[in-house]
A and B are shown apart, each in its own frame.
Chain A
Amino acid sequence: AQKITQTQPGMFVQEKEAVTLDCTYDTSDPSYGLFWYKQPSSGEMIFLIYQGSYDQQNATEGRYSLNFQKARKSANLVISASQLGDSAMYFCAMNTDTGRRALTFGSGTRLQVQP
C-alpha cells in the first residue's frame, strides 16, 4: 500500500515570492510516479507536474518545479514568483507501476497568495 502525507493544511505567501509545499510518500514499490494537482475554488482538478521514480532530474513546468529527494521520500512542489491566481488547494498524489493505476492522494494544502 502507498501513502501520501501533506503536513501543511494551509500556507500564506506574498505575491511574487516563492513557496514550497511539502509532500512525503511511502511505498515499497521501486517504480512509482508522483503528481501534483491544483484545485481552484471552482473545483476542477488541474494537473501541474509529474516526477517518475527513475527520473534523474527534478521535473519542471514553467513556474512549477518538483524537489524530488528519493532517499527522504519527499516530493515537494516549488512555485516561483507566486501570483494571485495561484491561490488554491494543492494535492500531492502517487501511483505505482505494479499496483493499480489509481492515484493515492494526500490531504491537500490550501495556499493563499497575498497582494
Chain B
Amino acid sequence: DVKVTQSSRYLVKRTGEKVFLECVQDMDHENMFWYRQDPGLGLRLIYFSYDVKMKEKGDIPEGYSVSREKKERFSLILESASTNQTSMYLCASRIGGPQNNEQFFGPGTRLTVL
C-alpha cells in the first residue's frame, strides 16, 4: 500500500515564525503536491514537484516555498507565518505519467497561527 506521511497532525505556531511541514512517501512516486484546504473552498494547490529539485508554483504560492532534495520527501515552508495561513495542509503524491493515475494523500496537518 502507498503510504504518505506528514510530520504533524496538529501544529500551533506564532505569527512571524518559520514553519516547516514535512511530507514523505514510500512508493518512489515522481510527483508530489501541497494543497491547502479551507471550508467552502475545497483544496487549492500551493506548489508541486515533478521530480527531485524540480518545483512549480500552484494557484496560491504567495507566502510559501518548497524543497525537494530527495525523491521521497517534499517540504512546505512558511517563511514568516501569518494568521491567514491557519488552515489544513494536505500533501499528495502520484506516480508520473498519464493523467489517470490517482493521487495518494497524507493525513493532513492542521496548522494554527496565533
Query: Which A residues fall within an 8 A CB radius of B?
Result: 4, 6, 9, 31-33, 35, 37, 42-45, 47, 50, 52, 91, 93, 95-97, 100-108
**Is B74 in contact with chain A by the CB < 8 A criterion?**
no
Number of interface residues of B (CB under 8 A): 29
Known: A101-B31, A103-B43, A106-B42. A35 touches B102 (CB 8 A): yes
A97 touches B45 (CB 8 A): no
B48 touches A45 (CB 8 A): no
Query: Which B residues fall within an 8 A CB radius of A?
Result: 31, 33, 35, 40-45, 48, 50, 56, 58, 88, 90, 92, 94, 96, 98-105, 107-108, 110
Q: Which of B88, B103, B108 contacts A103 (CB 8 A)?
A: B103
Jot down 10 A-B pairs with beta carbons below 8 A, ordered by A: A9-B40, A43-B107, A43-B108, A45-B90, A47-B104, A93-B43, A101-B101, A102-B45, A105-B35, A107-B40
Q: How far is the CB of B35 from chain A (nearest CB, A)?
A: 8
